[in-house]
Structure 1
Amino acid sequence: MGLFSKTIRTLGPWGGYQLARQICRNQPRILMYHRFSNPPVKDWASPKYFEQQVRHIKENYNSYSLVGLMQYKREHGHMPRHAVVITVDDGYRDFYHYAYPILRKYQVPATLFVTTGFVDRKLWLWPDKITWLLNQVDRIPETIKIGAFCSGSGPVNFETRPFYWQQWITHSLSLPDPEKHSFIDQLASKLGKVFPLSIPHEFEPVTWGELLEMQDNEIEIGGHTVTHPSLGRVTESQAREEIFGCRDTLNERLGDRYRTFCYPNGQPSDFRAFLPGLVQEAGFLGAVTAFPDAYGTRDPLLMRRHVSGDDMFQFFKSVSGVELVGLRLRKDVRMSLSGVVASYAG
């Protein structure tokens, strides 16, 4: 833990969080979640801590869905004060079971970004295939070689599974989208496994009926492409199909309305200069990345997000604005906007 975090851990409860809240009162913080579980799972959010966080937001901030935030800015010409947005990616069913009842209890809006091919059950998300493979084996009997990729043999257990997972995910993200899927299929073949035709229970998506219910109860259903590729690894025409195809399916299934968009994986390497223009052309009011930096919400089609989960220290840093203040003091910019705005402005 760095000196800044150590200082905040000490001073935050004694006024540091409140100070950051005032400094960032005109800078919305967008929180990012993915999976929910009970009992708790590492790096996921559990109902116990999520309810504490939702209650804290309800009592101390003005909560918005992302589309609600963007509509406020359109109507008033500026962002609302003390605004916080809860966003959740992908469209797993655990959101409906664990998070949605808590949000409804406290009447806190949120945005759920869904991958439409996943909700249609035409595919299961590719990172889950890697997770599934590693859960099927207790040992990799021999070194796996696929092209230039090499993964050593050895036991697969609680300690080593995260290493293999990260190695395989990182390599997958470095590949063009068709090669990524081929690579994952070759991993399965090397391990002697065949992917189930239907999505396993632990990875299942929400249904369209559940999405309709949630949309009627302050949950924005936003876009997250059709098949969840890294949009930095596809052509412009493929990106157009993913973005517009997602929009069209959402509107056909859930009704035509304003929505926002989330770039899959959402790291700087997943971005290309033409993407904001496509998102804007498709009619999305805003879009988010999956990392924070000093730019915050400055660009409505490249808004940064802050990680949240069961780590309450990380939650308080994110929601109060402490993390944003630190990023701006350090002038920490992970992806520059220069040269990008011109590609879609006007």
Structure 2
Amino acid sequence: MVSESTHDVKSTGIRERLGEFCYSAGLLSPLQRVRSWWHKDLRILAYHRVMPLPDPDSYDFDMELISATPEGFREQMLLVKERYRPMRLSDVAAAIDAGHALPPDTVVITFDDGYDDNYHIAFPILQELGIPATFFVSTGHIDSGRPYAYDWLVHMILMTGAARLELPELGMDMPMPVGRAARRALATSVLDHMKEISALAQAGMIRRLEKEWHMPSDAAVPADCRPMTWDQLREMHAAGLEIGSHGVNHWMLSKLPLDELEREVRDSRDALLRELGPMPLLMSYPVGSNRAFDRQVIEVTRSAGFDVACSYISGTNPQPAANRYSLYRLAVERYIGKRWFAAMLTMPGLINHPTPAHLATSDEAPSCSH
């Protein structure tokens, strides 16, 4: 069951009320003009999934990955096209290389993971409106068609008949809640806690649960959790959209031993070049918080030939050349309406939600989330 209504809307705070006021008062256009003269920063929007909003009581996967409904996404892209300058991420890299300033009000559209609704829903809208975008895909999931591990973990917690949740890897052992909302909250807590352990330990924990709960991710993949295929990506690439790396297995790169880190980065690069041909090399770090990448990840990414890399840290990029391997992005969430979205693009420093404190902002270190 799906619904086009936003029945699980996040309650608004002072930032959202300020944005609503500025939109209603007609202040956003003059504020944008002033800001584009005064503050020439790069905005990069981060999406995951575009799909009709499902009923959380019957939807068996992670609601937090839904960025917009089809109608909402089209409305957002119309606003970007009418009021901003959509730009390819590779053109940003080329401008950095040439030492050229970016045009005022530059906006880059990006997607993480590689769900097939990106092809079925987002791609036609972008194509219709002539807006460029970059899709960062985890190549191992494109190869196998298997669901993404974090989303499958949420699915298992929502659907298992197990009486207890026993996760010695995280020091967690508790009765399994009965209600769907309580299970969703528990899944969110598990996802947060597991990101403190190594990526290989995360993968091992998920595989153990699949076996113990008899819920293998290599069985028939539900339609609600399906990755794109290489044929779909080839069609999108041929239409002018950019395809970038999101690793092979969607593992947190900073949580890997060096040899596994190098394999994740280089194998994802090689898969893209093998399947899609020569292209600019663009990276988005899986998870993307300051827990997910560090100096070593940046150096491996740069050494593998990638031109730029995106984090999932909230913010804009006043000097993209200074943090080209840890670019900030503005996450778009399913509860963000038209007015909130417009205000976020106009006044990102005031309207978007901050993330944990940034680290150093240099080419040698990550500026410091999923």
Aligned position for 2:76: 53
Give yes or no for contact 1:146–1:186 (8 Å, CA) kept in 2: no
Residues 2 and 122 of structure 1: CA distance in aligned 2, closer, same or farther (over 3 Å): closer
**Number of paired residues?**
339
Amino acid at match of 2:148: L
**1:9-36 deviations in Å (ceiling 9; x for gaps):** 2123424433442354221211011012
Give yes or no for contact 1:232–1:272 (8 Å, CA) kept in 2: yes
Aligned position for 2:4: none
Residues 143 and 282 of structure 1: CA distance in aligned 2, closer, same or farther (over 3 Å): closer
1:81-160 to 2 correspondences below 5 Å: 81-121=104-144, 123-137=146-160, 140-160=162-182
Could you say what the CA RMSD is over the residues aligned between the two structures, in angstroms?
A: 2.6
Aligned position for 2:29: 18
Give yes or no for contact 1:29–1:318 (8 Å, CA) kept in 2: no
Amino acid at match of 1:300: R
Amino acid at match of 2:332: S
Aligned position for 1:161: 183
Aligned position for 2:50: 36
CA distance in 1, matches of 2:163, 2:230: 42
CA distance in 2, matches of 1:28, 1:295: 5
Give yes or no for contact 2:43–2:329 (8 Å, CA) kept in 1: yes
Give yes or no for contact 1:146–1:183 (8 Å, CA) kept in 2: no
Give how far 1:141 is off: 1.4
CA distance in 2, matches of 1:3, 1:222: 36
Most deviating of 165-174 and 299-308: 165-174
Residues 222 and 23 of structure 1: CA distance in aligned 2, closer, same or farther (over 3 Å): farther
**1:110-165 deviations in Å (ceiling 9; x for gaps):** 0000111010016432112212212423x541352425522421434331122121
Amino acid at match of 1:169: L
**1:183-226 deviations in Å (ceiling 9; x for gaps):** 12333345454444353332111111111111122210011111
Secondary structure at the aligned position of 2:108 is classed as: strand
**1:59-83 deviations in Å (ceiling 9; x for gaps):** 1111112112222343461122111
Unaligned runs of at least 5 residues, structure 2: 1-11, 56-62
Matched, 1:323 2:348: yes
Amino acid at match of 1:110: A
Aligned position for 1:260: 282
Most deviating of 116-125 and 18-27: 18-27
Give how far 1:47 is off: 0.8
Residues 73 and 226 of structure 1: CA distance in aligned 2, closer, same or farther (over 3 Å): same
Residues 151 and 314 of structure 1: CA distance in aligned 2, closer, same or farther (over 3 Å): farther
- Identify the match of residue 269 of structure 2 among 247, 250, 261: 247
Residues 159 and 124 of structure 1: CA distance in aligned 2, closer, same or farther (over 3 Å): closer
Residues 13 and 283 of structure 1: CA distance in aligned 2, closer, same or farther (over 3 Å): farther
Deviating runs (4+, > 6 A) in structure 1?
none
Amino acid at match of 1:274: Q
Give yes or no for contact 2:210–2:217 (8 Å, CA) kept in 1: yes
Percent identical: 23
Aligned position for 2:9: none
**1:72-112 deviations in Å (ceiling 9; x for gaps):** 34346112211111100011111000100000000101000
Give how far 1:274 is off: 1.6
- Identify the match of residue 70 of structure 1 among 81, 89, 93: 93
TM-score by length of 1: 0.88
Secondary structure at the aligned position of 1:247 is classed as: helix
Most deviating of 47-56 and 16-25: 16-25
Give yes or no for contact 1:91–1:113 (8 Å, CA) kept in 2: yes
Residues 175 and 104 of structure 1: CA distance in aligned 2, closer, same or farther (over 3 Å): same
1:227-246 to 2 correspondences below 5 Å: 227-246=249-268
CA distance in 2, matches of 1:327, 1:211: 31
CA distance in 1, matches of 2:169, 2:332: 37
TM-score by length of 2: 0.83
Residues 148 and 51 of structure 1: CA distance in aligned 2, closer, same or farther (over 3 Å): closer
Secondary structure at the aligned position of 2:181 is classed as: coil
Secondary structure at the aligned position of 2:97 is classed as: helix
Matched, 1:269 2:280: no
